[in-house]
Amino acid sequence: MTFPFIFFAAAFAGALLTTLLALPLWRRWCLCTNLVDDPRDGKNYDAPKIHTGAIPLAGGFAVLTGILLPLFFGAGLIEFDVVKTSFTNLILQGLEKRGLELSAIALGAVSITFLGWFDDKHELKPLPKLAGQFLVALLVTVASKRITLFVHSEIFSYAITILWLLAAINAFNFMDNMNGLCAGLGAIGAFIFAFIAAAHGEYLVAITGFLMCGALVGFLPWNFPHARAFLGDAGSHLVGYLLAVMAILPHFYTKQSPHPFAVLSPLLVLAIPLLDLAQVTVVRTLNKRPFWIGDTNHLSHRLTRAGLSRTQAVLLLWLAAAGLGALAVCL
């Protein structure tokens, strides 16, 4: 386990440092291109803002940079035999076996980030936004592993996988409503999925998880507790997408852990954003409001109305996510 640990640590640290260094550059670019969240510019925002100045929406591109650059750098070191171990041989075998699948996932990550960027820039209407999400979900569903839930139906498998991807993407998009909340939950979820994948010897999934976790941890100092940059829709879409994919790729139900409830582990890991999505959708529907129009009925807002500060509310939701993630590991 020595070499995998070293590679996992390198993936985490490389993503963290890359994001920390890239974010000022992306922040400057956002300010130059007016890609900012400014409640004073007269736009019809979905929900009241808690900040008064223009905040660059730089997080999504910084996190994507923090994931992709170390990934390409590490792949180059392995490909050209700069680093050669028994573990790198396993990685090369995995890349050869799942190259098309991984390429589709990477293309999906870039595509969903640019869809979010386009939404940040031009405020897409719900239907075109959903259509873009659906196309990305369809690409990944066709090219990679799909959810089965022990149902032997290809139509069901396609439908449930696309639904899962759309639900996770929008859950994290909805959850991006307080400083640090979406990024912190994403980092916790990525770490749990990486840990589970590593325990089952699925090293490519584990490395992806540690890269994502490191990139989000590298973004957090810019976003929590006081924001100098936001994830934006580009970032929240990317976080939801990658976590949804990482929930599909590992084998939760195996001969070593044959308990059928193990397939529910991803629901526990992502329980907080999924619960938030469900309850705000129900509340808005009961109030005869479109479910995609934002309000202050999210779990985080309810906690602040109960007397917690925003920072305390975020920390409590992080703690709840970590606890549920630990339960998922036990399964």
List, in order, residues 6 or more apart from 64 with CB less than 8 Å away.
109, 110, 113, 215, 234, 238
**CA distances (Å), origin 149, targets 161, 225, 265:** 10, 39, 12
pLDDT in tens, the chain (331 residues): 445 788 899 999 999 999 999 999 999 999 999 999 877 554 444 455 555 578 999 999 999 999 999 988 887 777 666 666 666 666 666 667 777 888 899 999 999 999 999 999 999 999 999 999 999 999 999 988 888 877 888 899 999 999 999 999 999 999 999 999 999 999 999 999 999 988 888 888 899 999 999 999 999 999 999 999 999 999 999 999 999 999 988 755 445 555 556 677 889 999 999 999 999 999 999 988 988 888 889 999 999 999 999 999 999 999 999 999 999 888 7
- As a whole number of Å, the CA-based R_g of the chain is 19
CA distance 167 to 153: 21
Cis peptide before 225 (omega within 30 of 0): yes
CA distance 276 to 68: 30
Contact assessment for residue 198 and residue 161, using Cβ atoms and an 8 Å cutoff: no
Listed residue (242, 260, 238, 248) closest to 197, CA to CA: 248
Long-range contacts of 315-318 (CB under 8 A, 24+ apart): 317/181, 317/184, 317/185, 317/272, 318/184, 318/185, 318/188
Give SS3 for 148.
Answer: coil
Amino acid at 8: F
Residue 87 in tokens: 């573990």
Q: What is the pTM of this model?
A: 0.90
CA distance 64 to 212: 9
